[in-house]
Amino acid sequence: MEEEKKLDRSSLIGMALITILLIWMMSGKMFPEASENQNEEAQTETASSPVESVEQLAASAVNDTIANEQLKATLGSFAYGASLPSVINAEDVVVDNGVLTLVFSSKGGYLKEAVVNDQKRLSSDSDELVKIIANNNSKLDLQFATKDNRVLTTKDLLFEPTVSKEGENTVVSMKLKASESSYLEYHYVVKPNDYMMDLNIRTVGLNNVIDASKTAELNWQLKATRNEKSIKYENRYTEVVFEYENGKDDYLNAAKSTTDNVKDLTYVAFKQHLFTSVLLTDTAIKDAVVRQENLVSDEDDAQGYLKDFEAKLPLEFKGGELAYNMNLYMGPADYNILNDYDRNLDEIISLGWGIFGWLNKFIIVPLFTILSNLIPHGVAIIVFTIVIRLIMSPIQYKSYVSQAKMKVIRPEVNEVNEKFKNDPMKKQQEVMKLYNKAGVNPMAGCLPMFLQIPVFYALFMFFPSAFDLRQKPFLWADDLSSYDSIAQLPFSIPWYGSHVALFPILAALAMFVYMKMTTGDQAAMQPQQEGMPDMSKIMKIMIYISPLMMLFFFNNYASGLSLYYFISNLITIGIMYVIKNKIVTEDKVKVIVEENKIKERPKSKFQRRMEEMMEQAQQQQQQQKPRKKK
């Protein structure tokens, strides 16, 4: 008996020790690191697996009552559709319409992949096609509330896919079912050889399921994938563009991570330089939010994404149901393609504002399109440049003639300046008389140069936006829409880069020669004014600074743009040489000036007005002199 009591006592003590040990282990004091890791894994699994749990529950619900109840507790009325065999066994729907290969996912009902069939990624030698959507970089997610107090997001839910034909069009229907006759549908219509597809979002028979008093929100996200050789150059033109308030358009600054609230939005475009994704809606979104986050800081070949885009679009119920007719565009940011849709999509292309955009849309783009359809793109740029320079040559001729006249009469201007150096007002009057007598307009040399500025800026905007130049080779350049690298440096030079592009070097050299030819004449136009800096010295410095600036600035720009400026400068040098040495020689200009001095020349309104102003100023000056003596 005593041994049994001892055994019982020992057993009790052992059981107590084991209990304490178990409590200690369960509290996490023993093996703390392992416990923390397990907690982290458990949290990660919980956070990342809601979709998986719905799929698992749906697969088990057919034969498992408990799983079926859990599915109903999670999805409510939509548990019906999730457990259908046509949903559980659904596969992705693949549609190839010739220009696009599209993959629709039954999980979420959205586009899982969008491939541009005839466009290579990074270079023309690549085996990889441009994928606007791939690797889970995009979501089209509708969030809504139900009458049983659930908030569901469609990206986590399972749709029933069906594919049919309407003539030549392929129809992909994705239905999120609450019963056989009540469902939410994404209705896609894919047309042959078209980058634009229809997308109708509607609910049928769900007015007793969805809480229509709470706004549904369509959330469209896209992480823009890098597709071009230079990620920084591509990112410079990657931005959100949107249309609002009956045809107005705006954009988010491509250099910033920013957000904007938009009233009455009718389309939003996630533009990534030479490709774009656009969501259009027939029914304006009253209060939308668009956002972009910059993901690029340096020229990093390992970086795969440019910007993170998002558009939040609240959808309104009518009669307890949703009915929105939309369109999705996935394809090139090509002005001609986008303009043909007649939906104001041409505004997605950055062609400049005001007169600059007008020049591009109605003159430069049509002219270059005609040329590039007839001849190779590199040759088309050269012919295009010749045409532009010939059109501008009369302006250049007038500018040079004015400069030549100013140069001829400069000795006389210097004499006037010396004679009346103590009377600035009189000096100005006499110089104006000399100009009028010699038939020289001091503004005639400047005005033609100002007239060329709109053309210069319009072309500067056109070339980086010209999709036709993408991966088109010319001479040593393998892609006229990107830089033409002939050497790779083992280091990076600030503002220049780690490669050497040849076309910018040639353009800079041609600019240097042109400035050398014209700087002397331009300096002669501007006689030294008392108290003013010596313009001739400034111009001599600019001969070296301007080409150097072009060399640095254009090294990372499209080689097509550098080719244009190189050819343009060469042609300008040739035109200037002919004008200066064959058409308007210095002797001819002297004869013209002397003839003008003999002629009676009527004064222009501007000249008369200037003389009147000078006379009034001189009278006021004379009236003030006696007062000062008193």
Alpha-carbon distance 542 to 565, whole Å? 18
Please give the pLDDT value at position 308. 95
- The terminus-to-terminus CA distance of the chain in angstroms comes to 141
Give just the sign of the alpha carbon dihedral 406, 408, 409, 415: positive
Please give the pLDDT value at position 368. 94
Q: Pick 527 or 316 by higher pLDDT.
A: 316
Burial of 249 (0-12, 13-18, 19+ CB in 10 A): middle
pTM of the model: 0.78
Q: What is the mean pLDDT of residues 582-611?
A: 62
Q: Pick 19 or 186 by higher pLDDT.
A: 186
Contact between 190 and 95 (Cβ < 8 Å): yes
What's the pLDDT band for 566 if we cut at 50, 70, 90? very high
Convert the pLDDT of each residue in 470-481 to its tens digit. 999 999 999 999
Give the phi and the psi of residue 375 in degrees, each rounded to 5: -135, 165
Please give the pLDDT value at position 90. 87
CA–CA distance from 119 to each of 88, 463, 576 (Å)?
A: 35, 19, 42
Closest alpha carbon to 378 in 460, 466, 477: 477
Convert the pLDDT of each residue in 25-34 to its tens digit. 444 444 444 4
Residue-averaged pLDDT of the chain? 81
Closest alpha carbon to 58 in 25, 31, 81: 81
Q: Is the pLDDT of residue 587 over 70?
A: no
Q: Is the pLDDT of residue 132 over 80?
A: yes
CA–CA distance from 30 to each of 16, 35, 52, 563 (Å)?
A: 18, 8, 33, 72
What's the pLDDT band for 22 if we cut at 50, 70, 90? very low
Number of helices followed by number of strands (H, E) in the chain: 18, 19
Chain length of the chain? 630
Contact between 502 and 476 (Cβ < 8 Å): yes
DSSP-based three-state secondary structure for 73: helix
Give the phi and the psi of residue 604 in degrees, each rounded to 5: -75, 165
Alpha-carbon distance 595 to 440, whole Å? 12
Structure token digits, residue 417: 């300046």
What's the pLDDT band for 288 if we cut at 50, 70, 90? very high
Please give the pLDDT value at position 313. 96
Q: Pick 352 or 613 by higher pLDDT.
A: 352
Say what angle helices 446-465 and 377-419 make with each other, to 10 degrees. 160
Q: Is the pLDDT of residue 441 over 70?
A: no
Please give the pLDDT value at position 430. 72
User: Which residue(s) pair with 103 in the sheet?
Assistant: 94, 113
Structure token digits, residue 577: 């040489």
Alpha-carbon distance 57 to 622, whole Å? 101
Which segments within 55-120 are labelled E, that is strand? 93-96, 100-104, 111-120
The full set of domains in the chain, from first to last, is 45-89 (no CATH), 94-350 (2.70.98.90), 361-599 (no CATH)
Convert the pLDDT of each residue in 79-128 to its tens digit. 888 888 888 888 999 999 999 999 999 999 999 999 999 999 988 888 99
Give just the sign of the alpha carbon dihedral 96, 97, 100, 105: negative
Q: Is the pLDDT of residue 183 over 60?
A: yes
Please give the pLDDT value at position 261. 96
Alpha-carbon distance 326 to 187, whole Å? 10
Convert the pLDDT of each residue in 301-349 to its tens digit. 667 899 999 999 999 999 889 999 999 999 999 999 999 999 999 999 9
Please give the pLDDT value at position 593. 61
Q: Pick 69 or 210 by higher pLDDT.
A: 210
Convert the pLDDT of each residue in 49-75 to its tens digit. 344 467 666 666 556 667 667 777 778
Distance of CA 604 to the CA centre of its chain: 47
- Name residues whose C-beta falls within 8 Å of residue 186's C-beta, 6 or more positions apart in sequence: 109, 110, 140, 159, 173, 174, 199, 200, 201
